Each structure stands twice: as structure tokens, then as C-alpha cells.
Amino acid sequence: EPEVTQTPSHQVTQMGQEVILRCVPISNHLYFYWYRQILGQKVEFLVSFYNNEISEKSEIFDDQFSVERPDGSNFTLKIRSTKLEDSAMYFCASLPVLTDTQYFGPGTRLTVL
Amino acid sequence: AQKVTQAQTEISVVEKEDVTLDCVYETRDTTYYLFWYKQPPSGELVFLIRRNSFDEQNEISGRYSWNFQKSTSSFNFTITASQVVDSAVYFCALSERGGSNYKLTFGKGTLLTVNP
């Protein structure tokens, strides 16, 4: 069964450094998402992406965040200058056009020191 | 704006007990979808069920059952004869069909601990 994959599974970085989190969505899906879960808290929507552009972003998704689909398979989340409060699990999800079930990747745990 | 409330922060039961996880939602949309996801200690989000707003039939899948009631805006989840492997955080989520977005709004989750 096809699945969403994410790399790396765990990333440790120093405050102020740039990080890129990578996702490979399911191949025939058209909608892509990033969510964030701070440890022990709920899963929060960050951004949605459709037709090569952002369709919606939350107030969390400020100027230090960006998303890109550089080729036909990868979907990336870049954090330009990480802060301690960016430490969280980041989930990628993709959605096929005809159904509304989002398939989540296993997540990337980001630790900012 | 859409909102999902899971009032139970933590529930602890003994194996073989039945347990119900509550979920109450708010939305202005007439077309929406409700979901339950399981998050085991390993951290991934495991999809359990999706329900659309036009289908109020209850659903049973093995030991799991779901009760959707539009009149009370609730979508409760029952585990019958719980097992230790059911221990996880369970999230209820809502997706509105408005726009082209389908983003999910999650509740805060309920930590279920099933003790042997």
C-alpha cells in the first residue's frame, strides 16, 4: 500500500540554523499539508499546498517558514532561522482529490538546541 | 471557525473494560468530515475512521465503534473489550469542505491507558 514518507526521522539543530524537512507524498495525490505537534499538545495545521502554490496558511506559518515542491515527488518545509519553540514533531500529509482522508507520514522530530 | 473539543484529557481502564472517548465539534459548514486518529507511543498518526456530515449511521469495525450525532455535534468513539495495545493518544479531527483546502482541525487528544 502506498504511503507518505518523511526524512529525516529526527533532526537536531542549533538555534538560528536553517532546516529542511522532506516529504514524499503518495504519487497521485494533489493536496499537500504540513502540521506541527509540540510535545504533549495537539496537532496543528501549518500550511496547505495545491497546484504548486500555498492554498492556506495558519498564523504559525510566518515568514521564517516556506514550502516547496521542487520536483514531481518531494514536498519540503524549510525553516529559515530555527527558534527553540520550533522544536516539535512535523507531519506531512497528502490528500487525493476524490476523497477527504488525509494520509500522514511518520513525522520528523525536530529538536532545536 | 471550526473547533473540536475532547474534554477527556486522560482515561485509564483495566483490560477488557469498554471505554468511550468523547468528541464534540463546532462548524458553520453543512458539509464536513469527521475523523479519528490514533497516535501510539511511537508517534505516528494512524487513521481510524472518516465520516461525512450526511451519513449519521453508526459504524462498527471489530472492537471499535463510532456514534455520530449531528443533533449534539458529537462523534464518540467506543472501544469494546479494551486491550493493552489500545493504549495511545486518540485525536478527533474535523475537516470542512469549504474552499479547496480540507485542512484538519484536531482536538487536544485523549490519552488512553489500558492496564493489564
DSSP states along A4-58: -EEE-SEEEE-TT--EEEEEE--TT--EEEEEEE-TTS-EEEEEEEETTEEEEE-
In this prediction, residue A103 has a pLDDT band, given cuts at 50, 70 and 90, of confident
The pLDDT, as a whole number, for residue A97 is: 74
Q: Which amino acid is it at A45?
A: F
The pLDDT, as a whole number, for residue A99 is: 60
The pLDDT, as a whole number, for residue A30 is: 87
Q: What is the largest CA-CA distance in chain B?
A: 46
The span from the CA of B113 to the CA of B29, in Å, is: 34
CB contact under 8 A, A33 and B107: no
Q: What DSSP character marks residue A102?
A: P
In this prediction, residue A112 has a pLDDT band, given cuts at 50, 70 and 90, of very high
CB contact under 8 A, B47 and A101: yes
Nearest chain A CA: its distance from B17 CA (Å): 26
User: In this structure, what C-alpha cell is assigned to residue A51?
Assistant: 497546484
The pLDDT, as a whole number, for residue B30 is: 86
Chain B within 8 Å of A52 (Cβ-Cβ)? no
| B 88-107: CB under 8 A from A | 91, 93, 95, 97, 99-107
The span from the CA of B49 to the CA of B65, in Å, is: 10
How many other CB atoms are there within 10 angstroms of residue B103's CB atom? 24
Residues on chain B touching A108 (C-beta within 8 angstroms): none
Q: Which amino acid is it at B69?
A: Q
What is the per-residue pLDDT across A60-86, written as a single tens digit (0 to 9) for each?
Answer: 999 999 999 988 789 999 999 999 999
Mean pLDDT of A29-35: 92
**Element housing B77 (H / E):** strand B74-79
Mean pLDDT of A6-20: 97
The pLDDT, as a whole number, for residue B113 is: 97
CB burial of B45-75 (b: ≥16 within 10 Å; e: otherwise) equals beebbbbebeeeeeeeeeebbbbbeeeebbb
Q: What parts of chain B have a pLDDT lower than 70?
A: 98-100
Smallest Cα–Cα separation from B53: which of B29, B37, B78, B77?
B29
Residue A109 or B53, more confident:
A109
pLDDT exceeds 60 at position A54: yes
According to DSSP, the residues that pair with A104 across neighbouring strands are A93
